[in-house]
Amino acid sequence: MASTNPSTYADHGSPEGDPDAGRGRLGVGRAHGKVILLGEHAVVYGAPALAMPVSQLTATVTVRRCSCPDGSADQLSFAVAGSGAAPVTPLATDGLRRLVAEFKEKTGAVGRVCAGVLVDCAIPQGRGLGSSAACARAAVLAFAELFDRRLDAKEVFDLVQASETLAHGRSSGIDALATGATYPILFRAGTARELPSLDGVCVIADSGVGGSTKDAVEMVRRKFERNADAQAEFVRRVSSLARGAADDLAHGRSGDFGARLTENHRLLRDLGLSTDRIDALVDAALAAGGLGAKISGGGLGGCMITLAGEPRQAQDIVRRLHEAGAAQTWVVPMGRFARHGD
Ligand code: MEV
168 lines ligand 1 (CB under 6 A): yes
pLDDT of residue 91: 58
Question: Could you identify the atom of ligand 1 that is nearest to the CA of residue 173?
Answer: 9
298 lines ligand 1 (CB under 6 A): yes
Count of C-beta atoms within a 10 Å radius of residue 323: 10
Which residues, including other chains, have CB under 8 Å from residue 287's CB and lie 6 or more apart?
Answer: 320
Distance (angstroms) between ligand 1 centre and the Cα of 177 equals 12
Question: Could you identify the atom of ligand 1 that is nearest to the CA of residue 133?
Answer: 2
Alpha-carbon gap, residue 111 to 306, rounded angstroms: 49
44 lines ligand 1 (CB under 6 A): yes
pLDDT under 70: residue ranges of the chain:
1-21, 72, 82-92, 340-342
Name the 3-class secondary structure at 202: strand
Name the 3-class secondary structure at 52: strand
Question: Could you identify the atom of ligand 1 that is nearest to the CA of residue 39?
Answer: 5
Distance (angstroms) between ligand 1 centre and the Cα of 298 equals 6
Which residues, including other chains, have CB under 8 Å from residue 200's CB and lie 6 or more apart?
Answer: 254, 257, 291, 307, 308, 309, 310, 334
Q: What amino acid occupies position 311?
A: P
pLDDT of residue 310: 87
Alpha-carbon gap, residue 73 to 70, rounded angstroms: 9
Distance (angstroms) between ligand 1 centre and the Cα of 49 equals 10
Residue 254 has what DSSP assignment?
A: H
Alpha-carbon gap, residue 281 to 320, rounded angstroms: 9
- Measured in degrees and rounded to the nearest 5, phi and psi for residue 97 equal -65, -45
Nearest CA to ligand 1 atom 8: 172
Residue 303: how many CA atoms within 13 Å on its side-chain side? 28
Nearest CA to ligand 1 atom 9: 171
